[in-house]
Amino acid sequence: MSIKNILQITLMSIVFFSCNKKEEKKSTTNATKPNIIYILADDLGIGDVSIYNENSKIETPNIDALATNGVMYTDAHTSSAVCTPTRYSILTGRYNWRTSLKQGVVSGYSKSLIKPNRTTIADVLKDNGYNTAFIGKWHMGWDWDITKPDSLGLDIDNLKAIPEVDFTTPIKNGPNTHGFDYSYGFCGSLDMPPYVWVENDMPTSVPTKYTKGKTKQGTWRYGLTADNFEHEQALPEITKRTVSYINDNAKKDDPFFVYMPLPAPHTPILPTDAFKGKSGLENPYADFVIMVDWVVGEVTKALEANGISENTLIVFTSDNGCSPTANFKQLKSKDHNPSYVYRGTKSDIFEGGHRVPYIMTWKNNIQPTKTEQLVCTTDFFATVADVLNIDLEDNVAEDSFSHLTNSEAPKRESIIHHSVRGEFAYRKGDYKVNFCKGSGGWSYPNINTKKAIYDTLPMVQLYNVKTDAAETKNLQAEHPEIVKEFKADLLKIINDGRSTVGAKQENDGSSDWPQLEKLKNTKL
């Protein structure tokens, strides 16, 4: 009996990873399908979760409990070092740079990054009997009813764009278009206008005022704000809505899937009064991390209260590494490092940009374990399909591998990393090649470093991330054969339109773009 069959047959007294792999697959019914909750923190560093960092000065007992009772992945990575691309990859199982977005993120006014015909994990779950919900921060664009282009002539993807929008009409190509029965959230980041809640495609209020954050860590961009939108209450509101959804759906016959992308601890860093100063680190970011942990606790308590924790699969992770806005210097003065032992921060090709906490738990159904299995956030799609015994079409989830430990499904053996500037890195085994100078992001050294210094940096960096987690020793000169092999592998995966086995697929937009051209022309 395969692991998939065990997961489908019973929810009582089973061990997730013990299996006999000879019996044929069996179909699932709603009664044997687990509820699924995906909690995505925003800019949470791997070193901010106390179970991942023995030197952490921030305590996260609720997140730690998920790891203690589930699978704790220690070599997990986001598909990108910034927000939008990673979110796209989670829902589609596809590398973000295969879209038209080759670097950076979208704005709060941007059109949808997900094409209408692209299958999402929500689509698949809905087609397989699930009630599906999105509650939180979308940040992949949707189509507002824009009545007048931006007066400054800026493209709506530009973060300074201010187009005129008719907020009395429904949005298009949003969460409800992409598989979610219920949706409640906002379009961009919590620091990107317009600041408007949208429920099931309809803005809940027409914005009539303009607001702007007042402090460096608590800042948000000047922009239209609805009367019922309060930045400080965004995280509690999302939590309240999610708990309410759990309560409403707990006793229904159909299982549910909740995609819960949080706006925290991303800027604006706004812990509520109950959490201000709670960390003792004299830094609102640390307090906000504790508030994120509280959110996890509220969700798990709701599952317990409804008696469905043993029939609910929870995934917890972050969309990239910690942002420099957390004030690394101040936190390090308190002996806390959000990036743990890894180099870099959010935005970077270095490990600190994309190595994240990744936990999967299913109470009494997953044997607690810690694993070094390589994981990418694209892999949620194939993992769910594996759990539910769903066969995916050839043009779906092209870069997704199941991370069920003892599954018969192919495992991820390599991964492509991507920085805010669209720079590439390729990892296989213990080695990782960064095909760019410096960090490829915001950390020093970067494109803004003095030219006399930047010009001397090597175009290619090879690190053994197993023995050199801080990426301090460039081994390029010692192992040119690895660099050559990795470049060929990377180009093949890009050109094939997939990293999984199957027919060749097309990438969106141009078949060539500046970062790809740069990669092709990199001299080894």
Say whether 66 sits in a helix, a strand or coil: helix
DSSP 70: S
Do residues 183 and 314 share a domain?
A: yes
Cα dihedral sign, 274-223-89-260: positive
- What's residue 511's pLDDT? 85
- What average pLDDT values come out for the chain (524 residues) when binned by 10 residues? 38 34 43 92 98 98 98 98 98 98 97 96 98 98 93 81 95 98 98 98 97 95 97 98 98 97 98 98 98 98 97 98 98 98 98 98 91 98 96 97 88 97 98 98 96 95 98 98 98 98 94 95 89
Please list the residues that pair with 313 across neighbouring strands: 36
Q: Are strands 358-361 and 369-376 parallel, antiparallel or unpaired?
A: unpaired
For residues 78 and 319, is the Cβ–Cβ distance under 8 A?
yes
Residue that has been written with the tokens 């309809």 in this structure: 202
What gap in Å lies between CA 231 and CA 264, rounded to an integer?
11
Is residue 280 included in any domain, yes or no?
yes
Is residue 48 included in any domain, yes or no?
yes
For residues 48 and 322, is the Cβ–Cβ distance under 8 A?
yes
Is residue 131 included in any domain, yes or no?
yes
Element (H, E) at 330: helix 328-333
For residues 269 and 220, is the Cβ–Cβ distance under 8 A?
no
Do residues 405 and 431 share a domain?
A: no
Inter-CA distances, 271 with 160, 232, 295, Å: 26, 7, 12
Do residues 335 and 448 share a domain?
A: no
CATH of the domain at 236: 3.40.720.10
DSSP 37: E
| Final residue before a domain boundary, out of 376, 395, 414 | 414
Do residues 459 and 395 share a domain?
A: no
Is residue 90 included in any domain, yes or no?
yes
Please list the residues that pair with 317 across neighbouring strands: 40, 358
HEC per residue, 344-387: CCCCCCCHHHHECCEEEECCCCCCCEEEEEEEEHHHHHHHHHHH
What gap in Å lies between CA 349 and CA 47, rounded to an integer?
17
What length is written for the chain?
524
Do residues 261 and 397 share a domain?
A: yes
Do residues 340 and 239 share a domain?
A: yes
Do residues 487 and 375 share a domain?
A: no
Do residues 369 and 435 share a domain?
A: no
Closest CA to 89 of 480, 512, 418, 491: 418
Cα dihedral sign, 63-65-71-73: positive
Question: Residue 433 is part of which domain span?
Answer: 424-521
Q: How far apart are the first and last CA of the chain?
A: 48
Is residue 208 included in any domain, yes or no?
no
Cα dihedral sign, 94-98-99-102: positive
- What's residue 435's pLDDT? 98
| Final residue before a domain boundary, out of 379, 414, 449 | 414
Copy the structure tokens of residue 81.
Answer: 């070092």
- What's residue 229's pLDDT? 98
CATH of the domain at 465: 3.30.1120
What gap in Å lies between CA 208 and CA 227, rounded to an integer?
7
Do residues 461 and 489 share a domain?
A: yes
| Final residue before a domain boundary, out of 393, 414, 435 | 414
For residues 194 and 108, is the Cβ–Cβ distance under 8 A?
yes
Is residue 354 included in any domain, yes or no?
yes
- The secondary structure of 130-192 as a DSSP string is -EEEEEEE--S--B--EEE--TT---TTSTT---EE-TTS--BSSTTTTT-SEEEEESS-TTS
Q: Name residue 228's amino acid.
A: N
What gap in Å lies between CA 299 and CA 292, rounded to an integer?
11
Q: Are strands 35-41 and 209-211 parallel, antiparallel or unpaired?
A: unpaired
Q: What are phi and psi of 98, to 5 degrees?
A: -80, -10
Is residue 153 included in any domain, yes or no?
no
Do residues 398 and 438 share a domain?
A: no
Domain count, the chain: 2
- What's residue 492's pLDDT? 98
Measured in whole angstroms, the distance separating CA 236 from the mean position of its chain's CA atoms is 20
What gap in Å lies between CA 309 and CA 368, rounded to an integer?
15
What gap in Å lies between CA 499 and CA 512, rounded to an integer?
18
Closest CA to 425 of 377, 507, 482: 482
- What's residue 150's pLDDT? 79
60: number of Cβ within 10 Å: 25
What gap in Å lies between CA 279 and CA 85, rounded to an integer?
31
Inter-CA distances, 128 with 43, 98, 257, Å: 32, 27, 11
Copy the structure tokens of residue 397.
Answer: 């989830």
- What's residue 26's pLDDT? 41
Is residue 149 included in any domain, yes or no?
no
Do residues 430 and 389 share a domain?
A: no
Single pTM value for the model: 0.94
What gap in Å lies between CA 377 and CA 396, rounded to an integer?
15
- What's residue 193's pLDDT? 97
Do residues 476 and 343 share a domain?
A: no
